[in-house]
Structure 1
Amino acid sequence: MDYTWQYYDLVLAGIFGSLVVGVFVGQFTTVHPTTAIVGFSFVAAAVMGHGLFVNGPVDEPADLADEVDALN
């Protein structure tokens, strides 16, 4: 069974990866660790915002009004 990467897998990897890069930049360069992590957190927030608002998990706004049967 082959796994195919989906868009939201890449969003999660982008969030995790940007935070890990921020830690490494803070540890192994002259940039202060707090500054590096905060800076790369903005990258993670941008990736998250793209996943939520630019390429959201719904096809059209009317999908937001659908009832969820699993919660009833």
Structure 2
Amino acid sequence: MAISIKYYDLILLGVLASLLLGFGIGAVTTISTAITVPASALIGIALIYQTIFLRGPVSSTDDLSEEAHQIELPK
């Protein structure tokens, strides 16, 4: 069984790595982890922003129209 790593898997690993980096910097240096973890979380936020808004899972708005179906609600 071959394991393939997709783009979104790399983004999740990047978010985890940014948080671990913040913890590592806080543990090794004299800077508090209360500062380094939220500061490094900005890297994770940037990765999530880029994934959702700049390179989303759909390639065009035509892909979105197939997902939406009109339903009738009971009166």
Q: Same fold (TM over 0.5)?
A: yes
- Report the CA distance between 1:53 and its aligned residue: 1.2
Q: After TM superposition, which residue ranges in structure 1, 4 or more long, deviate above 3 angstroms?
A: none
- TM (norm. structure 2) is 0.81
Rg larger for: 2
Aligned partners of 1:63, 1:45: CA distance in 2, in Å? 26
* Matched letter for residue 14 of structure 2: G
Instruction: Report how many residues are paired.
Output: 69
1:5-39 Cα deviation digits (max 9, x unpaired): 10000000001110011111111112221110111
Which protein has the bigger helix share? 1
- Report the CA distance between 1:56 and its aligned residue: 0.7
* Matched letter for residue 64 of structure 1: L
Moved more, 30-39 or 6-15: 30-39
- TM (norm. structure 1) is 0.84
